[in-house]
Amino acid sequence: MVTRIRGGTVDGIDGFDVLVEIDAGRGLPAFHIVGLPNAAVRESRERVMAAVRNSGRSWPTGRVVVSLAPADVRKEGASLDLAIAVGICIQQEAQPVALDWRRTVFLGELSLSGTLRPVRGVLAMIKSVRESGCTRCVLPSLQLPDAKRIQGLEFVGVHNLNEALDWVRYGRVPARDSPPAVCIDSGHGAGSEGDRRLFASMGEAEQRLIQVAAGGRHHLLMHGAPGGGKTSLARLIGALQPVLTEPEALEVNRIHGVTGLNARASSLTTRPFRAPHHSVTRGGLLGLGVSGQVGEITLAHLGVLFLDEIAEFSPAVLDLLREPMETGQIVMSRSGRHRIWPSDFQLIAAMNPCRCGLSTSSRGHCRCTALEIARYRNRLSGPLLDRLDLMTDVDGDCSWSLDESCDPRSAERRWTEASGRVQGTWQRWRRLAAAQGGSEGRFIPDLDFCRNWLDADCRDYLDQARSSLGLSVRGAIRSVAVAGTLAFLDDHRRPDSGHLAEALSLRSDALST
Ligand SMILES: [Zn+2]
């Protein structure tokens, strides 16, 4: 007799469901798992066997074969433990159960004593399970609060193998208070108290820059001597942005869940901020189709990707960012199949003026030759620079970061005002995107839109600027987008020539100076 039961595992950032078939009985004692299990799944033999025995259940005396279907996809992780153990116990105990295996999925890693541990990628698995017609999901009770955010499924939280088997046989689990959802971060465009004070102590130009970058999610390159506060600026931009909406939070938690970054029933509500080191490889940044490794750009989805010392990154790796910057996604190939991962990130980059960082500073003497400086700056390709909306010098001489004299109440007020303006700007961009039939995400205008949106004066101004600055079409469009953000921050409906001039000045190629 063959027992069938459903489990799930992850592949990249996506979950998929696995049909577990168990045949036990004839032959010499043995335990085999077939169907491309990886090391963690193969090891589940030992965990399952110990968990079944330590739960006071009997183990089949003969040969046990577990088959995982589809057989041609590699199975990863320990999330199949529970399904395998429940299947073996059902078969061994041969008592009637009221379990519709087609509609119920079991997820969970077993400890040797039979208790359940949280699994990574639980949201991704539940999503795929729901799409394949399941109506019930049995999972570790620790992950119940997180799972319940997905609608349309009945969830059963269990502590151990015996509770799962009791539920299979009697349809009930011991009543207990479910643990509250763990929230890693506080809500509404929060920012810590330190963020607020730092923001309030900044100069007007820096505050404006932060609001523009935060309000339009514009890609930004900051240029200036080390210690000028470029990293603090990048963090404040992320902190000033609105918290994730519920669908966005689900998406971000699903992605971060498969990496195990928040496997333990936690909920991210603020936007991701990823700052990979400049030694990051192509696979680390973009993700790897072969092993299913998730890249930094996908982890930064709906948040900020901060590249400090961008000129130290490999130019070949940086150039690969161009496509996801345009489309908000990355196309991966794996075993002949294509997959598309979301990567709608806001690029914030910081760069020193030369390798030693002192060529524009009054604080020290730069020893780089002119050739070395030129070579250093040329590490960013023209097409990549063209995709940046804001390029600006950040003055290394300002002393704001240590200003302790700022009054906390006025700091609070300035932060609230700025955060309100940024929220309002987001709403206007969203409405505009909806009116143009676009998606919820970032709205990138096209040339026709720009021509209709700007009045005659602005169009003339833009044409003049294009010829005098040698701006590409893409550069012009991006400047119009920045002008739009500036207008929205000022509570205008569309940009005027003043906004356009400011946008062009914020895009002035800092590298050419
Ligand atoms: Zn130098």
**In what helix (H) or strand (E) does residue 34 lie, and over which residues does it extend?**
strand 30-34
Q: How far is the CA of 513 from the centre of ligand 1 (A)?
A: 15
Q: How far is the CA of 222 from the centre of ligand 1 (A)?
A: 17
Q: How far is the CA of 393 from the centre of ligand 1 (A)?
A: 16
Q: How far is the CA of 368 from the centre of ligand 1 (A)?
A: 4
Q: How far is the CA of 146 from the centre of ligand 1 (A)?
A: 50
Q: How far is the CA of 134 from the centre of ligand 1 (A)?
A: 62
State the pLDDT at residue 288.
79
Task: Say if residue 70 is preceded by a cis peptide, omega within 30 of 0.
Answer: yes
Q: How far is the CA of 373 from the centre of ligand 1 (A)?
A: 7
Would you call 228 exposed, middle or buried from its count of C-beta atoms within 10 A (0-12, 13-18, 19+)? buried
Q: How far is the CA of 375 from the centre of ligand 1 (A)?
A: 12
Please compute the mean of the pLDDT values over residues 262-274 and round it to a whole number.
70
The Cα–Cα gap between 384 and 136 comes to 47
The Cα–Cα gap between 475 and 468 comes to 13
Q: How far is the CA of 203 from the centre of ligand 1 (A)?
A: 27
Residue 112 CB contacts under 8 Å (≥ 6 apart), including other chains: 47, 50, 51, 54
Tens of pLDDT, residues 316-373: 899 999 999 988 889 887 667 778 889 999 999 999 888 887 777 777 788 888 898 8
State the pLDDT at residue 82.
94
Please compute the mean of the pLDDT values over residues 64-93 and round it to a whole number.
88
Identify which of 433, 401, 423 has the alpha carbon closest to the alpha carbon of residue 489: 423
State the pLDDT at residue 67.
92
The Cα–Cα gap between 506 and 490 comes to 16
Q: Token digits for 28?
A: 């010499």
State the pLDDT at residue 188.
44
Residue pair 423/254 in contact (Cβ under 8 Å)? The answer is no
Q: How far is the CA of 319 from the centre of ligand 1 (A)?
A: 25
The Cα–Cα gap between 458 and 467 comes to 14
Q: How far is the CA of 457 from the centre of ligand 1 (A)?
A: 43
Q: Which of 97-111, 264-278, 404-418, 478-492 has the highest mean pLDDT?
A: 478-492
Identify which of 414, 419, 434 has the alpha carbon closest to the alpha carbon of residue 242: 419
> Which residues pair with residue 5 across a beta bridge?
20
Q: How far is the CA of 377 from the centre of ligand 1 (A)?
A: 11
- 3-state DSSP assignment of residue 75: strand
Q: How far is the CA of 226 from the centre of ligand 1 (A)?
A: 11
State the pLDDT at residue 187.
40
Q: How far is the CA of 75 from the centre of ligand 1 (A)?
A: 51
Q: How far is the CA of 376 from the centre of ligand 1 (A)?
A: 10
Q: How far is the CA of 355 from the centre of ligand 1 (A)?
A: 5
The Cα–Cα gap between 282 and 303 comes to 20
Q: How far is the CA of 276 from the centre of ligand 1 (A)?
A: 24
Q: How far is the CA of 357 from the centre of ligand 1 (A)?
A: 5
The Cα–Cα gap between 41 and 33 comes to 8
Is residue 27 scored above 80 in pLDDT?
A: yes
Q: How far is the CA of 358 from the centre of ligand 1 (A)?
A: 5
Is residue 55 scored above 90 in pLDDT?
A: yes
The Cα–Cα gap between 166 and 448 comes to 64
Q: How far is the CA of 66 from the centre of ligand 1 (A)?
A: 63
Q: How far is the CA of 207 from the centre of ligand 1 (A)?
A: 28
Q: How far is the CA of 366 from the centre of ligand 1 (A)?
A: 4
Please compute the mean of the pLDDT values over residues 286-307 and round it to a whole number.
87
φ/ψ (deg, to 5) at 396? -80, -5
Residue pair 421/489 in contact (Cβ under 8 Å)? The answer is yes
- CB atoms under 10 Å from CB of 420, counted, come to 11
φ/ψ (deg, to 5) at 53? -65, -45
Residue pair 161/86 in contact (Cβ under 8 Å)? The answer is yes
Residue 360 CB contacts under 8 Å (≥ 6 apart), including other chains: 224, 225, 353, 396
Q: How far is the CA of 315 from the centre of ligand 1 (A)?
A: 20
Q: How far is the CA of 224 from the centre of ligand 1 (A)?
A: 12
Q: How far is the CA of 360 from the centre of ligand 1 (A)?
A: 8
Tens of pLDDT, residues 98-154: 777 778 999 999 999 999 998 888 888 998 888 888 899 999 988 888 888 888 889
Q: How far is the CA of 364 from the centre of ligand 1 (A)?
A: 9
pTM exceeds 0.75, yes or no: yes
Average pLDDT across the chain, whole number: 84
Tens of pLDDT, residues 379-430: 888 888 888 999 988 865 545 544 555 677 888 888 999 999 999 999 999 8
Q: How far is the CA of 350 from the centre of ligand 1 (A)?
A: 16
The Cα–Cα gap between 115 and 163 comes to 9
Q: How far is the CA of 205 from the centre of ligand 1 (A)?
A: 26
Q: How far is the CA of 504 from the centre of ligand 1 (A)?
A: 28
Q: Residue 368 to residues 173, 223, 309, 365: CA-CA distances in angstroms?
A: 71, 17, 17, 9
Q: Which of 69-73, 266-270, 476-480 is least confident?
A: 266-270
Q: How far is the CA of 353 from the centre of ligand 1 (A)?
A: 7
Q: How far is the CA of 208 from the centre of ligand 1 (A)?
A: 29
High-pLDDT (> 70) share of the chain, %: 89
The Cα–Cα gap between 314 and 205 comes to 31
Q: Residue 419 to residues 79, 218, 405: CA-CA distances in angstroms?
A: 41, 16, 22
Q: How far is the CA of 363 from the centre of ligand 1 (A)?
A: 12
Q: Token digits for 148?
A: 């319940």
Strands 63-69 and 109-110: unpaired
The Cα–Cα gap between 478 and 492 comes to 18
- Angle formed at CA 43 by CA 42 and CA 48, multiple of 5 degrees: 105
User: With DSSP H G I counted as helix, E B as strand and the rest as coil, what are the percentages for the chain, rounded to 5?
Assistant: 40, 20, 40
Q: How far is the CA of 36 from the centre of ligand 1 (A)?
A: 54
